[in-house]
Amino acid sequence: MKYNSLDRAAESHKVIIMIVLLFGFISFSLNLYTSLPVKNYSLNRESVDGKLVWQKYNCNACHQIYGLGGYLGPDLTNVYSKRDTSFITAYLKNGTTTMPDFNLSSNEIYSLLAYFKSTDNSGSSDPRTFIILQNGTIK
């Protein structure tokens, strides 16, 4: 097959466009992955215990953590900063008409509070409060 000069010009334009697109894609990806905020936190003994209490009583059936779980009760990811610890303790000790009373021991309540503190430090749950950044990530 023979190419004339017009075909060759069209081919080289395509190559240039591909290079520009590839360069754009790579630099955007690099920028995105190097600028993502990564929170460093570690679970301490108490919060691990609290997570086990959370699982033992299946609190997840009605509540969400990081947006995942049942929807009868509210998301509790940030309950630690939204509410007083005495408010949370009162809920856990007594329940309400819609939230059962699990007869939790004070140790279990203490561990649950530590767990709520760690989820509060490591994530946020209400998408309505998120700010969408220019590169498509959220804050």
Dmax over Cα atoms in the chain, in whole Å?
86
Q: Quick one: which segment of 9-17, 38-46, 92-100, 124-132 binds ligand HEC (CB under 6 A)?
A: 92-100
The closest of 83, 64, 80 to 121, measured between CA atoms, is 80
Instruction: Tell me: does residue 123 bind ligand HEC (CB under 6 A).
Output: no
Please tell me the number of Cα atoms within 13 Å of 58 on its side-chain side: 4
Q: From the CB of 39, what's the least distance to ligand HEC, in Å? A: 22
Q: Give the nearer residue to ligand HEC in terms of CB position, either 43 or 62.
A: 62
CA distance 110 to 50: 8
**Residues 26 to 85 in contact with ligand HEC, rule: CB under 6 A:** 57, 59, 61-63, 72-74, 76, 79, 83
How many angstroms separate the CA atoms of 134 and 28, rounded? 12
Contact call for residues 75 and 65 (beta carbons, < 8 A): yes
Quick check: 20 binds ligand HEC (CB under 6 A)?
no
The Cα–Cα gap between 87 and 63 comes to: 17
Using rule CB under 6 A, residue 89 touches ligand HEC = no
110 binds ligand HEC (CB under 6 A): no
CB of 108 to ligand HEC, least distance (A): 8
Q: Which residues bind ligand HEC (CB under 6 A)?
A: 57, 59, 61-63, 72-74, 76, 79, 83, 88, 91-92, 96, 98-100, 102, 112
